[in-house]
């Protein structure tokens, strides 16, 4: 039977995290600020989180020895990387509390299971997903309804930042696209007319209590999140309430423990469609670090340690700019050049977060810049100045 926490793990305990990327790094920062010790398991010897953690277990996610060392060091374990094998979490859960659990992570890792869960929740929340078909066999491919075209073929597993997706316009193109995946399990989704994209971060405790951050509006470029903006003007209040209710019903339906991000589409006709979920803090929630009185990483610590949850309060309008490796090659340079952070930081309300990655590559997430202001107009003015310094 799974290990459970009966009372809170207080500061001085050790919190473990599977995965050593930037999300793990910010979890480690939040945990250490509260007085916890941290342990990171990651196969990369020089990972962003491993570099700042008290303990770094340098091992593969399925390595029995590495997992045993993690569960010896850590009093409770979370995950920052969506594709940590669910079976690794299941094996850790025999010794230590693990949140989120292997079952919820396993569903979030597989678009077919994820959409089935969303469809079950839609009965209560009224927010469904895009029309889709599961394609796992040649028979299912042949039976696809032409009403789903033009569509987007997405591999069921291992997709992120638009990877594993192909745009298809005809049955012949769909067949070629599925061949190109190596005939792995996929979903074909109807391409919807998007008016906007938004997401919401929910945190849910072991006793089933949920809190949430305000709904954020997201802008993607080439399949990667570019800008998140959060204040009263970004989204109709009724839509925001609907998104929060749908997100909470998804979390409740999984008996989820931890931080969960749900992404939505807003369609041209003003209706809301649920897109996907991430069983961890999310890039679109990084604004919470500087614009809210608790961050998504603080709530990840609280849910893992069994500490009380409090409803977050946003105290400033905010824009987050993702800092991709491309910026290191901008301003006419062929070589990696550090952007002019000194000039960016001279602007009021700029909060720089870099993840400690030494090598910049195009499309690689190097950090983010949160920009807060006394009001929306001032914040946007600062964001425009920052963007022109970086561009």
Q: Which amino acids are annotated as binding site for ATP, given as ranges?
A: 111, 154, 159-165, 189-192, 197, 220, 275-276
Residue whose token pair is 């040649």: 138
- Cβ distance to ligand ADP smaller for residue 52 or 277: 277
Give the per-residue contact string, 201-220, with ligand ADP (x = CB under 6 A; - = no).
-------------------x
CB of 348 to ligand ADP, least distance (A): 31
Stretch of 67-75, 98-106, 192-200, 360-368 lying at the interface with ligand ADP (CB under 6 A):
192-200
Residue whose token pair is 């990369």: 44
Structure token pair of residue 353: 């977060």
CB of 280 to ligand ADP, least distance (A): 13
Q: Does 194 bind ligand ADP (CB under 6 A)?
A: yes
Q: Does 42 bind ligand ADP (CB under 6 A)?
A: no
Give the per-residue contact string, 251-280, with ligand ADP (x = CB under 6 A; - = no).
------------x-----------xx----
Nearest CA to 199 among 166, 158, 234, 154? 234
Q: Does 75 bind ligand ADP (CB under 6 A)?
A: no
Q: Distance between terminal CA atoms of the chain?
A: 54
Q: Does 159 bind ligand ADP (CB under 6 A)?
A: yes
Q: List the beta bridge partners of residue 69.
A: none
Stretch of 21-29, 61-69, 186-194, 234-242 lying at the interface with ligand ADP (CB under 6 A):
186-194
Q: Does 149 bind ligand ADP (CB under 6 A)?
A: no
Q: How many residues bind ligand ADP (CB under 6 A)?
A: 16
Stretch of 16-24, 72-80, 94-102, 157-165 lying at the interface with ligand ADP (CB under 6 A):
157-165
Q: Does 160 bind ligand ADP (CB under 6 A)?
A: yes
- Cβ distance to ligand ADP smaller for residue 166 or 316: 166
- Cβ distance to ligand ADP smaller for residue 163 or 313: 163
Q: Which of positions 124-143 make contact with ligand ADP (CB under 6 A)?
A: 130
Q: In the complex, which residues of this chain contact ligand ADP (CB under 6 A)?
A: 130, 152, 159-162, 189, 191-192, 194, 197, 220, 223, 263, 275-276
């Amino acid at each position: 039977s799974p290990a459970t926490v009966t009372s809170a793990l207080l500061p001085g305990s050790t919190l473990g995290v599977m995965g050593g990327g930037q999300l793990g790094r910010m979890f480690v920062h939040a945990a250490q600020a509260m007085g916890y010790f941290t342990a990171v398991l990651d196969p990369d010897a020089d990972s962003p989180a491993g570099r700042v953690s008290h303990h770094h277990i340098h091992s593969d996610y399925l390595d029995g020895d590495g997992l045993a060392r993690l569960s010896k060091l850590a009093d409770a374990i979370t995950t920052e990387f969506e594709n940590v094998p669910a079976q690794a979490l299941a094996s850790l859960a025999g010794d230590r509390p693990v949140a989120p659990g292997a079952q919820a992570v396993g569903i979030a890792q597989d678009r077919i299971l994820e959409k089935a869960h969303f469809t079950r929740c839609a009965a209560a929340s009224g927010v469904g997903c895009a029309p889709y078909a599961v394609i796992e066999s040649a028979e299912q491919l042949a039976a696809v309804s032409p009403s789903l075209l033009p569509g987007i073929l997405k591999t069921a597993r291992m997709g992120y930042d638009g990877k594993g997706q192909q745009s298809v316009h005809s049955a012949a193109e769909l067949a070629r696209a599925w061949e190109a995946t190596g005939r792995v399990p996929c979903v074909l989704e109807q391409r919807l007319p998007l008016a906007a994209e938004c997401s919401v971060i929910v945190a849910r405790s072991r006793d089933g209590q949920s809190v949430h951050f305000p709904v954020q509006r997201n802008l993607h470029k080439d399949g990667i999140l570019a800008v998140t903006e959060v204040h009263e003007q970004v989204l109709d209040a009724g839509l925001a309430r609907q998104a929060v209710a749908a997100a909470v019903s998804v979390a409740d339906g999984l008996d989820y423990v931890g931080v969960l991000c749900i992404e939505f589409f807003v369609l041209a006709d003003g209706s809301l469609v649920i897109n996907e979920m991430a069983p961890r803090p999310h890039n679109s929630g990084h604004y919470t670090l500087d614009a809210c009185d608790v961050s998504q990483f603080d709530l990840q610590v609280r849910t893992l340690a069994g500490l009380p949850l409090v409803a977050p309060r946003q105290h400033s309008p905010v824009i987050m700019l993702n800092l991709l490796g491309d910026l290191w090659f901008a301003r006419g340079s062929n070589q990696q050049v550090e952007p002019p952070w000194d000039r960016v930081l001279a602007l009021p309300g700029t909060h720089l977060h870099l993840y400690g990655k030494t090598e910049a590559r195009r499309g690689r997430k190097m950090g983010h810049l949160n920009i807060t202001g006394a009001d929306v107009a001032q914040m946007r003015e600062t964001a425009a100045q920052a963007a022109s310094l970086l561009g």
